Structures are given as structure tokens and as C-alpha cells.
Amino acid sequence: MLPLNKLETLKQGGYQVAVKGREVEIEFTTPTLGDAASHPELGGERRRFVAKGFVEGDVVRLTEAYVEDQTGGRNKVSLSYLELWIEYINSL
């Protein structure tokens, strides 16, 4: 679970956060592989990381996450893989 008050921290860190009622969507567009490696010939594809959940008291309970490529193809991300990311966000 992600503390509700950390959503603003995510926004400041370049994430897009949408809250509609109790539903929450957190989105981050990755740099290209070429940009991340400072090696442009490695590729120019960007991916979009999306985590969805809902507000439960003063936390956001994540219910699904996926990575979407430029063609719209989605690869599900296990919520257990997000535990380290959540710990990092909580430490900010």
C-alpha cells in the first residue's frame, strides 16, 4: 500500500497521477533505452508504466500494474515486484 500523501511526491518526481473518486492511476513514461544508456543507437521506444488502485482510508491499495509499449501491447507486472518501489516512495 502507498500512503495517500505520497501521491504529491510522485507528481513532483515526474509521474502523472489521476484521482477520480476512490480510483487512482499512476503513470510514468520511461526514457528511451538509448536515452537511458546515453547510447542513441540502442533504440527510441518509450514505454509507459501504469499502476492502478483505489483509496482505502489514508492509503492507496494497488490492484494492478502493467507496462505498455508504443503499439499498445501490455505486459502485466506482478504487484509483488512493486514492493521495493513502494518502500522507496515511502522513504521520500
pTM of structure = 0.86
Looking up cell 521495493 gives 84
Q: Of 47, 36, 39, which is closest to residue 69 (Cα–Cα)?
A: 47
Residue 28: Cβ-neighbour burial (10 angstroms; 0-12, 13-18, 19+)? middle
Tell me the domain boundaries of the chain.
Answer: 2-91
Quick: pLDDT tens for 34-77.
777 777 777 778 899 999 999 999 999 999 999 999 899 999 99
User: Per-residue confidence at 30, pLDDT binned at 50, 70, 90?
Assistant: confident
Average the pLDDT over 12-28 and give the result.
Answer: 96
Distance CA 43, CA 33 (A): 6
CB burial of residue 73 (10 Å; 0-12, 13-18, 19+): exposed
